[in-house]
Amino acid sequence: MRILVIEDDKVIGSLVEKVLEKKEYEVDLVTTGSLGEELATKGKYDCIILDLGLPDKDGLEVCRSLREKQVDTPMLILSAYDAVNVKVSGLDFGADDYLTKPFDNEELTARVEALTRRYHKNKSREVLSCGELEINLLKRKFYVNDNEVELTNNEFDLMTYFLQNQGKIISISELAENVWEIGFDTRTNYINVYLSYIRKKIRPYTSKAYFKTIRKQGFKLTDE
């Protein structure tokens, strides 16, 4: 698990870092909102711990900016401000939880663990992957090596079915029934055409073939 801590107080930042590392989390600690926002946007974190009183920009603005950039990493605000309106503002701006300073070490780790557990549980329902291929079902986005690849609706549905059944040999009739929900002559080249479109689109971003044609049986998606 990788955690980003955005905290300008060196004593508190060091304490949070030690508490999390004791739980075997990998921690990146930064002291400015600008750098924290940059890392959160580019890096893949399981949780962000964010102070509000940062030297260069308000923590609430960092929170709102990250959500506007579609960064969905769970965010825990850690602040000395304990007024209800500040807590409500933090949650309204997109934070997932709020903990006031001074804090109990066990409560901090418990909240981080709860946020990361919930995040990954939700992610497992909405994101499917196979090697360098990843599809987000809620956003209807498809990525190859973190590069977004545009798919038509039929291509997206076909790719989704393959990812849901990766490693299995899928017949043409099964694809026709479950992706298009129609019956058609399985001797036609319909499925092959769509697969060729998808192969062509992913080819610039990976050296792997992913799709295997199994003679007289169908197709298989594999990371082998």
pLDDT band at 188 (very low <50, low <70, confident <90, very high): low
**Any idea which of 20-29, 99-108, 178-187 has the lowest mean pLDDT?**
178-187
In the predicted structure, residue 102 carries a pLDDT above the cut 60: yes
* Coil, helix or strand at residue 134: strand
- Say what the pLDDT of residue 104 is: 94
Please report how many Cα atoms fall inside a 13 Å half-sphere around the Cα of residue 208, on the Cβ side: 13
Mean pLDDT of the chain: 89
In the predicted structure, residue 8 carries a pLDDT above the cut 90: yes
pLDDT band at 186 (very low <50, low <70, confident <90, very high): low
Peptide bond into 102 cis (omega under 30): yes
2-125: CATH homologous superfamily?
Response regulator (3.40.50.2300)
- Whether 2-125 and 131-221 share one fold: the answer is no
pTM for the whole structure: 0.61
- Say what the pLDDT of residue 124 is: 67
- Say what the pLDDT of residue 189 is: 73
CA distances from 51 to 37, 136, 172 (A): 12, 30, 54
- Say what the pLDDT of residue 185 is: 52
Those residues with Cβ within 8 angstroms of residue 102's Cβ, 6 or more apart along the chain or in another chain:
none
Structure tokens at 135: 């599809």
pLDDT higher for 91 or 30?
A: 30
In the chain, where the domains are located:
2-125, 131-221
**What amino acid is encoded at 13 in this protein?**
G
> What fold characterizes domain 131-221?
Arc Repressor Mutant, subunit A (1.10.10)
